[in-house]
Amino acid sequence: MHISAVPTNEKPLEWIGSSHKDLVALPADVRRFFGFALSLAQAGDRHDAAKVVKGFGGAGVLEVVEDDVGGTYRAVYTVKFTEAVFVLHCFQKKSKRGIATPKEDMDIINTRLKIAEALVKGLRK
């Protein structure tokens, strides 16, 4: 008998652009934290630390932020689509000016959200 630890209603995780490579490059504790938050998203739940990223018009774009001795790290993903949870961007926040996400990172998130939307359209055909 095979017992699966993964519930069947769990959404797959899809990595857009370099998001997986970027996540793997982060410190181990940060990776574990983001992995847990993403697994909750896959199960249709939301980590207490997940916040909506403003500027995406209710596109279900969320981020989790984690600090360690090396700095502040963010993982941004969307739960907008029923097909999958798309990881859009994982990065270390370099800006020292406030908590706002830097424009170049917002541009990456925007571009990758469009890629996710195109992938979903392809899946739905």
Tokens representing 99 are 């908590």
Helix, strand, or coil (residue 83): coil
- pLDDT (tens, 9 = 90+) of the chain, 125 residues, equals 445 555 568 999 999 999 999 999 999 999 999 999 999 999 999 999 999 998 887 769 999 999 999 899 999 999 999 999 999 999 998 766 677 788 899 999 999 999 999 999 998 88
Tokens representing 5 are 């630890």
Burial label for 91, CB within 10 Å (0-12, 13-18, 19+), is buried
Rounded distance, CA 101 to CA 22, Å? 17
**b (16+ CB within 10 A) / e for 7-37:** eeeebebbbbbebeebbeebeeebbebbeeb
